[in-house]
Structure 1
Amino acid sequence: MAILTYENYTTAIKSWAEVKSNYTDIQKVISPEQVFILSREQIEWFDKENEAETYFRADIGVWENNLVLILTPRTNAGDVKTLENYEFCPLQFLENDLTLLQTKTYTVKSTYVLSKDLTKSQEDTDLNLPIMNEPVTGQLKAVDEIESWRENAMDYLQRESVEFKGERLFQSFYIPKADLLHDEQNTRDIVCVFGFKYSAVYQRLLATLIFISNATGEKVGAPGAVYAVQSDPSNTYDWSRPVPPYIPG
């Protein structure tokens, strides 16, 4: 497991705070096709160390020229726990496509493939309904938000860094515990993907993290590895909430 000392952790946080104000530097650490991959061991460690009841909180940093997601356990008061080491995972490219499987409540079974460059294609559907009658499912909505990030992320990051000096860009994310602890006994890993979600409060798109869990026990992207997205998005993926405050645009 990848770990940072407390000193490394604070350095990584400061590095991202500096990088996000310069678009040239942002381009060196972020590609819209990249993802974070959390192992089961990291999730178990996070849950054990975290004292907050409802949410985890993860910080974004830059370490060894890589954007990293740092698991930073909180106290009951919401402060970062001072530990000798913190788990983290780097932003990385997928080696293989991900198969997302969802059984819809009206018994239509659909299989999608989320390719390693984060584009989607529908492989199989038992029943095709007229588009106006087809509900927007959690899985399809998540994939659309991921594609939105893939297509628009660099324009978004450039505008935020140039016009707002990176002040409105994400530094930390609140993560509902259900996103990481769903079916904990069977989950081998969780893929964390950037997406865009519209905020009615700030009247603009915000970057977010979408969590997709592997419940088959196979290695990420391996043959037979199926990532299940349930109709209830709080179970297997959710839009994490970036930590306020944000300056309205």
Structure 2
Amino acid sequence: MTIFNRDEYAVATANWDNCIGNFLEIERLIPTNYIFTLSKEQIDWLKDKNDYKEFCTEIGIYNSQLVLILSPLDKKGQKAAVTEYPYSVLSELQGDLPLVETKEYTVIKNAVLSNDLRKIDDNADMYFPVANMPMMDQDKAVSAIESWRNEGMNWFYYECGDFKGARVFKKFYVPSENLTPPKEGLTSFVCSFGLKYSDIYQRMLVTLIFISFYEDLQNNGSVETISNTYDWSQPCPPICRI
């Protein structure tokens, strides 16, 4: 498990704070088809340390690489007192990224993103008659990831140029229920950036989408198959609580 001590954590987060208005440096640091991967060991560490309905992931730069840092919260939703900070380096996806979603015995949708986050396959199988096919969370997740891949640098260019990076994300708040999915055999999370429109803020915001991987994720039409796409995270800024 890759871990920062307090000093390394402080350096990494300060480096990102100093970078968020520099579009050329951000363009170098963040290929829009790269992702973070969190291991089961890191997930278990966070489950043990976090005491709130959400946990925090912070963005940093270390050794000229973008990193995602795990930061647990205490019972009041404030940063927990810890001496170590597990982190993941933004890197290229190894292999394709399957997204699976099942909706109450009716429609099973499957989508596959390539290792550079292009949609290369999708299908839907109907196992019981339904009146129509609803918009599903998976569709929104794929759309947000593709929007990030295609428009992420345009978003940074606008934010760095017009707002000097003041509105660029520094951390994300993530529902803690992501850490305990209702299926055995969890091995890792893949975390992808996405672009999603906010009705409240009337603009596009960056989110992190958590996609879980299991030892035996089924893809055979079984009614026991469950979604492996989890809740959206909330970026700070604008949603800052600590």
TM-score of the pair, normalised by structure 1: 0.85
Unmatched runs of 5 consecutive residues or more in structure 1: 219-227
The one-letter code matched in structure 1 to 2:115 is K
Aligned to 1:51: 51
Deviations 1:128-156 (A, max 9, x none): 9xxx9421111121111110111100000
How far apart are the structure 2 equivalents of 1:215 and 1:178? Answer: 16
How far apart are the structure 1 equivalents of 2:122 and 2:51? Answer: 42
Deviations 1:52-97 (A, max 9, x none): 2x10111111111111110012222333233321100011111200
Matches within 5 A, 1:74-89: 74-89=73-88
Deviations 1:165-222 (A, max 9, x none): 111010011100112321364210111111112112210010000111112358xxxx
Deviations 1:87-116 (A, max 9, x none): 000111112002222233352333221111
Aligned to 2:8: 8
CA RMSD of aligned residues (A): 2.4
User: By percentage of residues, which structure has more strand?
Assistant: 2
Aligned to 2:171: 172
How many residue pairs are counted as aligned between the two chains? Answer: 231
How far apart are the structure 1 equivalents of 2:31 and 2:156? Answer: 11
Unmatched runs of 5 consecutive residues or more in structure 2: 218-224
How far apart are the structure 2 equivalents of 1:106 and 1:180? Answer: 25
SS in 1 for 2:148: helix
Among all aligned residue pairs of Structure 1 and Structure 2, give the percentage whose two residues are the same amino acid.
40
How far apart are the structure 2 equivalents of 1:87 and 1:35? Answer: 16
Moved over 6 A (4+): none
How far apart are the structure 1 equivalents of 2:87 and 2:68? Answer: 5
Contact 1:178 1:236 survives alignment (8 Å) = no
Among residues 212, 225, 240, which one is paired with 2:233 in the alignment? 240
Aligned to 1:199: 198
Aligned to 1:223: none
Aligned to 2:72: 73
Matches within 5 A, 1:46-195: 46-52=46-52, 54-105=53-104, 107-127=106-126, 133-183=132-182, 185-195=184-194
SS in 2 for 1:32: coil
Give the CA deviation at 1:123: 4.3
Farther-moved stretch of structure 1 (116-125 vs 167-176)? 116-125
How far apart are the structure 1 equivalents of 2:235 and 2:11? Answer: 21
How far apart are the structure 1 equivalents of 2:237 and 2:41? Answer: 29
The one-letter code matched in structure 2 to 1:17 is D
